[in-house]
Amino acid sequence: MNKNTFKKSVKAAVGGLALSLSSLTLAAETWDMPLAYSATNYHSVIAKEFAEQVSAAQDEVEIVTHPSGSLFKGGEIYGAVRRGLAPIGERLISALSNESAIYSLDAIPFLATDFDSSWDLYQASKPALEEVLDKHRLKLLYSIPWPPQGLFANREINEIADMQGLKFRAYNPSTSTIAELMGAIPTKVEAAEVAQAFATGVAESMLSSGSTGYDQKLWEHVDYWYDVKAWLPKNMVFVNKRAWQQLDQETQDVILAAAAEAEQKGWAKAQELADWYKGELAKNGMTVQEASDTLKNELKAIGEQMTNDWLEDAGEEGQAVIDAYQAM
């Protein structure tokens, strides 16, 4: 090889190396986003759309969703994001009730029973919610509700006494308390395990939305769903604060804009699907009906008791949230 050929080879190699290093520099960092619910559930669908929108709009991060608890199980997601094992994730707010009283507000029965009142409660509690997340080194991106909660049961329920001794699927301290106040037996079951729990008799009843019943095909194991509209729990998507602070302002703005759009779409989708889910439960053989006046009144009394208990636990901060909500 002559001197000129050698020089050309070196220049080509250096140029190729520089191009390779440049490509590595520009490559987006992958953010794995664990989700607890199935890929077809609207929460997961909207999370995937959010992730794709963010990934397409900038070059700093690429968000990849992992539904059905495939990366971290539902109960592990919050801790995983706090510890930086995942930079971003989604969790049912009320499942975190042991972390803060603000989280348990989301599962007080009959405090907010429709979409408008639930939105007002969210807005009234959002500053306190963001403050708690900040203390836990997390940042709120968006929150989306489930449809109003109904009562699933494998027997006819006309009054609270009919719940006596039934194994009740609980997924947070509030639902455990409700079960105990009804005389049922609380049994902790995560969302991904609901169908198996009912199939094997581990659970015989629960308060949940028509969405859960549809996703889990509960008509194969449960005969009744009562539209008691107990409350509208919400999922929230949050990001590890250290990971967030490492992003440039432009990327942060892209993520916040996509999050605001996801939240808007999510609230609209939940409202759109609420009646559709009920129709699907009925179409597949479940008895879908309104609760009796007796059952409604008994459940409302439980809700009032739990609101008072929550206010004692949450103190002045909790009272401020309720005052702001009631003023809307």
All domains of the chain in start order, with CATH? 28-326 (3.40.190.170)
Q: What is the pLDDT of residue 20?
A: 44
Mean pLDDT to the nearest integer, 298-304: 94
pLDDT at residue 6 in the model: 42
Would you state the pLDDT for residue 26? 57
Mean pLDDT of 311-320: 94
The dihedral of CA 67, 71, 77, 82: what is its sign?
negative
> Would you place residue 205 in the very low, low, confident or very high pLDDT band (cuts 50, 70, 90)?
very high
> Does the structure show a pLDDT above 60 at 13?
no
Q: Which residues contact 69 (CB under 8 A, 6 or more apart)?
A: 34, 35, 36, 190, 192
Least confident piece of the model among 17-26, 183-192, 214-223, 264-273: 17-26
Which of 10-14, 112-116, 224-228 has the weakest average pLDDT? 10-14
| pLDDT tens, position by position, 40-78 | 999 999 999 999 999 999 999 999 999 999 999 999 999
Q: How many CB atoms lie within 10 A of CB 116?
A: 11
Question: Quick one: average pLDDT of 271-298?
Answer: 95
Between 17 and 163, the higher pLDDT residue: 163
Which pLDDT score is estimated for 22? 42
pLDDT at 229 over 60: yes
Q: Alpha-carbon distance 102 to 117, whole Å?
A: 17
pLDDT at 106 over 50: yes
Closest residue by Cα to residue 94 from 169, 22, 172, 1: 172
Average pLDDT (241-254) is: 98
Model pLDDT, residue 173? 86
User: Is residue 190 scored above 60 in pLDDT?
Assistant: yes
Residue type, 284: N
Quick check: 204 and 125 in contact, CB under 8 A?
no
Mean pLDDT score across all residues of the chain: 92
Q: What is the pLDDT of residue 294?
A: 96
Predicted confidence at residue 172, as pLDDT, reads: 83
Structure confidence at residue 2 as a pLDDT band (50, 70, 90):
low
The whole-number average pLDDT for the span 235-258 is 98
Sign of CA dihedral 255, 257, 261, 264: positive
> What pLDDT is stored for residue 17 in this prediction?
45
CB 82 within 8 A of CB 239: no
Residues 6+ apart with CB under 8 A from 272: none
Compute the chain's Rg from CA coordinates: 24
Which is nearest to 145 in space by CA: 106, 111, 109, 176?
106
- Residue 63 has φ and ψ, to the nearest 5°, of -95, 130
- Token pair 């401020």 is found at 320
